[in-house]
Each structure stands twice: as C-alpha cells, then as structure tokens.
Amino acid sequence: MIWNPEIETMPRAALEKLQSERLAKLAEYVYARVPMYKQRMDAAKVRPSDIRGIHDLHKLPFTKKSDLRDNYPFGLFAVPMSEVTRVHASSGTTGKPTVVGYTKNDIDMWAEVAARCFAMSGAQPGDMFQNAYGYGLFTGGLGMHYGAERFGCTVIPISGGNTARQILLLQDFGTAVMACTPSYALTLADEILRLGIDPKSLKVRSFILGAEPWTEEMRTELEAKLGTHAVNIYGLSEVLGPGVSNECIEAKSGMHIAEDHFLTEVLNPSTGEPVADGEVGEIVFTTLTKEAMPVLRYRTGDLCTITREKCICGRTHARMGRILGRTDDMLIIRGVNVFPSQIEAALVGKEPLTPHYALIVTREGHLDSMEVQIEVHDAFYRDLGEARFADADDEALHRVRAYARKSLHDVLGLNADVTLLAPGQAPRSEGGKLKRVFDRRK
C-alpha cells in the first residue's frame, strides 16, 4: 500500500519541478525571516532571487548543529512564538539541547510523512500500533504517534522501557506494528524467548526501527527470532523527527526520502562537494516546506549512500542506505577510520556471538588499543558451563576469540582484543538510544 501515490510515485522530472518551486520560495522566506540566513546570504552575495531552482542549491549556505546551539533556544525560528505549536529537542545528552519548533502546518506535514512510513512498513489501517519510542522532548514518540493516527492505527502510547509491560501488551492487545530502537527490539526479542513465549502466538507483523544505527545482521537476527518484518526508519529533530525516510517492505533496500519536503544532497564531508550516487558521503537536507524552523543544507553528520534508481515498490523517491557512521563518531584508531557499524557487521550473526557488544578504546603512551566485548549465546554458555567460561585459557573460548579477532582484522585491518561476555553482560537498551562505544582516550 502506498499512502500518497500521487506524490510518492511522481515522475522525477515533476518532483524536481516541485522541489525547485519550493526552494525558490524557501530562499525568500528565510531571507526575510531568519537573521542568520540573511547575514549568511548577504556575506555570500546571494540574493533570494538568485535561487530559481534546485540547481542553485549549492549557492545557499550550510547549517550546522553549532548554528542551532549558537542561536539557542529559539533564534532560528522564522515565525513569532504565537505560531509555534510545539517544540522538541535533540536527544543529545551533553550540554544544552538543540531546540526545534513546529507550526500547526509543520505538525500536519509531519503526520503526513510519518503516515507514509506506516504504509511503507506494511501497516494496515486498523492495526494496533505499540509505540515504544520515548514520548517527550525526543521527537520519536509524538512523531510516530501523529503518523499512526493519521494513517488510521489504534495507538498504544506506551513509550519506552518497561519490558515486562511491553510484552504483556504485545500479547493482550494484539499489537500488529511496533516501533522502538533496534537495540531495544533485540532486548525485547530475547526476553520474549527467555520467557518461553512462542513468537507465533503474537500478532506482530512489523517492527519499525530507527533513531540509532543498526545492521543487516541485526535485521536477520530479529526477523528470525520473532518471525516478523523489521524495517528501518530515519529522521532527526533538526530536520523533522522520524519520517524523513523509511524503507519499503517490498524491497527493504534503502529508505525512501520524502523528497517533496526534504531536498537531499550527499556530500564529501571534508570538501562539501557532492559525491556520486552510490558513494558514501554526509547526507544534507534542506527543508522545503517547514514554517517554524526551516533549515538550509543542514549537515546531519550522518554518513550513507543514496540511490535514485527505480524501486520495485513503485515509489520514485530516492532511497538512502543505512547510516554507516557519523562524521563525528568515526573513531580513528591507530590512524584507521573505524565505525561501530563495521564492528557489528564483522561479528554479529557469527556463532556463538550475539549482537550485544561494547567497544572500548584506550591509549597507553601513544598507542591506541581497541577492545570488543561481546556476549555469547545462551546455548553456548550453558553447554560450556560457568567454570569453563571463567577460564580464560579454555580452548573453546580461545577458538571463538581467535575467530572474532580474525573477522575484525579482515574488516578493519586492525588487531582488536576480544572479550567474551556471559549472556546479559553487555550494555542493553532500556528503551532509548544505546551507548556502546566508550572512547577512554580523552
């Protein structure tokens, strides 16, 4: 099912025409209403009338996260506060949050693009939707909530955490679609199996998972454990929140971007120049229709690829690949660029390793070292027994560690220490985003 076929299957030429019209209007709008953009455009000698279409996008200034901080809290708003219906803030845990605002029309547009995501994820109107994204300043909860209502689901606004209750409602309310972070979905799946609940007794068809990076291996594991679909959803508060893009269930191969609202570029993060489709770069969005806090060329820091190739689902909007890392969380270890996603790809799904891991980077003198702590599966642990597991010299453990080290070396070209953890010992998501990288060099 396609929620808005007219827009979502629009021929690309028509889509680009629509984007061009909207971009020209946006340039006028921000120039007149947001002092920072007026100053930047003046400094670059760009007049709003110079922006006639998407081919002029490169003339417009970038926006960075620091610009939001420098204008904290409301300095980038383009409308008077009386027209701001809602504010949200980025989930960043350090320092002051980055604040964003929405008008009534913005909330309406958000519900529309989020409703598209429900259709893409295989939801059907009338489905029970369990929303385990956090409600609050984080955009996940309310963003999905409004999308689900618009789409026609019955919303269970349970919010994040409280696994026992999540499972109870999954069982008793007949949840068909659930949204949460991928790491939490794994926590949930493990708990369901641990309790001896037959996943077939549940009615869940789709998990809509986002807000943090995850991998194909995690998808395979989740889908196998629970017998459901798991699809990827992407968004960020500076641009909107969840609903910027979502995978279609037909292809599960990249997330269709709501390009009628978000003009997308993929740039070389160092030079700011575009990279070719299919090449990894930083994804950059310009909001074409937002009223309260439009952004020009927002540098997300998220690294991915993009494709404009036709999709089997019939949608024409471009697809972005999984987020492979962030320009700012890329670890440089002994001069090698390392993304947590690579570690996951190297290890997850390889017996007896689980997707639960932590990455610890330390430095002695000038030498960096990397340790991957990863949990083994229950069955392996039980077969081996607690005593053997505690014995670092045990031969079976030795083999697994050697094998994990080799996989890591194949992928990263780096030697890493591998520590095997007993089930339940790695950091777990309690509902929100999971922190699994600990850089102790600073």
Please give the residue ranges that form the binding site for ligand AMP (CB under 6 A).
90-91, 139, 210-213, 232-237, 300, 302, 323, 326
Contact 41, 24 (CB under 8 A): no
The residue whose two tokens read 């509902």 is: 431
Q: How far apart are CA 349 and CA 216, in angstroms?
A: 10
| Size of residue set near Zn ion by CB under 5 A | 5
Cβ nearer to ligand AMP, comparing 156 with 324 = 324
Q: How many CB atoms lie within 10 A of CB 240?
A: 27
251 binds Zn ion (CB under 5 A): yes
CA 98 to chain centroid, in Å, comes to 17
- Residue 182 CB, nearest distance to Zn ion (Å)? 20
Quote the CA–CA distance of 220 and 236 in Å, as a whole number.
Answer: 25
**Torsion angles phi and psi, residue 212, rounded to 5:** -155, 160
Single-letter amino acid code for the residue at 75:
G
What is the end-to-end Cα distance of the chain in Å, rounded?
Answer: 50
Distance, C-alpha 431 to centroid of its chain: 15
Shortest separation between residue 140's beta carbon and ligand AMP, angstroms: 7
Query: Which tokens in the block code for residue 288?
Result: 């074409």
> Can you tell me which residue has the tokens 């420098």?
70
Among ligand AMP, Zn ion, none, the one that 232 touches (CB under a kind-dependent 5 to 8 A) is ligand AMP
Residue with tokens 């991957």: 372
**Nearer to ligand AMP (CB atom), residue 24 or residue 266:** 266
The answer to whether 128 and 178 are in contact (CB under 8 A) is: no
Q: How far is the CB of 143 from ligand AMP (least distance, A)?
A: 9
Distance CA 148, CA 116 (A): 10
Looking at the Cβ atoms of 88 and 315, the one nearer to Zn ion is: 315
353 binds Zn ion (CB under 5 A): no
CA distance 148 to 429: 24
Q: Which is nearer to ligand AMP, 212 or 391 (CB)?
A: 212
Which among ligand AMP, Zn ion, none contacts residue 215 (Cβ within 5 to 8 A by kind)? none
Binder to Zn ion among 148, 313, 418, 420 (CB under 5 A)? 313
Q: Name which of ligand AMP, Zn ion, none residue 286 binds, using a CB cut-off of 5 to 8 Å depending on partner kind.
A: none
Among 222, 311, 324, 370, binds Zn ion (CB under 5 A): 311
What is the closest distance, in whole angstroms, from the C-beta atom of residue 312 to Zn ion in the complex? Answer: 6
Picked from ligand AMP, Zn ion, none, the partner binding residue 91 (CB below 5 to 8 A depending on kind) is ligand AMP
Nearer to Zn ion, 315 or 322 (CB): 315
Tell me which of Zn ion, ligand AMP, none is bound by residue 326, counting a contact when its beta carbon lies within the kind-specific cut-off of 5 to 8 angstroms. Answer: ligand AMP
Nearer to Zn ion, 248 or 338 (CB): 248
Least distance (Å) from Zn ion to the CB of residue 251? 4
Residue of 380, 368, 375, 366 whose CA lies nearest to 418: 375
What is 210-273 written as a DSSP string? ESS---HHHHHHHHHHHSSEEEEEEEETTTTEEEEEEE-TTT-SSEEE-TTTEEEEEE-TTT--
Return the range that interacts with Zn ion (CB under 5 A); candidates 33-41, 130-138, 166-174, 246-254: 246-254
CB 203 within 8 A of CB 176: yes
Task: Establish if 248 lies at the interface with Zn ion (CB under 5 A).
Answer: yes
Q: What torsion, rounded to 10 degrees, do the Cα atoms 227, 229, 230, 231 define? A: 170
Minimum CB separation of residue 98 from ligand AMP in Å reads 8
Interacting partner of 323 out of Zn ion, ligand AMP, none (Cβ under 5 to 8 A depending on kind): ligand AMP
Q: What angle do CA 284, 290, 291 make, to 5 degrees?
A: 140
**Closer of 78 and 236 to ligand AMP (Cβ):** 236
Q: By CB under 5 A, tell whether 422 contacts Zn ion.
A: no
From the list ligand AMP, Zn ion, none, partner contacted by residue 243 (C-beta under 5 to 8 A by kind):
none
Residue number with CB closer to ligand AMP (239 or 397): 239
Sheet arrangement for strand 437-439: 417-421, 367-376, 353-364, 437-439
- Cβ contact 295:187 at 8 Å: no
CB closer to Zn ion out of 311 and 420: 311
In the bound state with Zn ion, the residue whose beta carbon lies nearer, of 108 and 309, is 309
Minimum separation from the CB atom of position 28 to ligand AMP (A): 27
Closest separation in Å from C-beta 168 to ligand AMP: 27
Q: Segment 314-333, which members bind Zn ion (CB under 5 A)?
A: 315
212 binds, among Zn ion, ligand AMP, none (CB under 5 to 8 A by kind): ligand AMP
Per the document, the length of the chain is 442
**Side chain identity at residue 300, one-letter code:** T
Q: Is-contact 174 203, C-beta < 8 A?
A: yes
- Residue 210 contacts which entry, ligand AMP, Zn ion, none (Cβ below 5-8 A, type-dependent): ligand AMP
Footprint of Zn ion (CB under 5 A)? 248, 251, 311, 313, 315
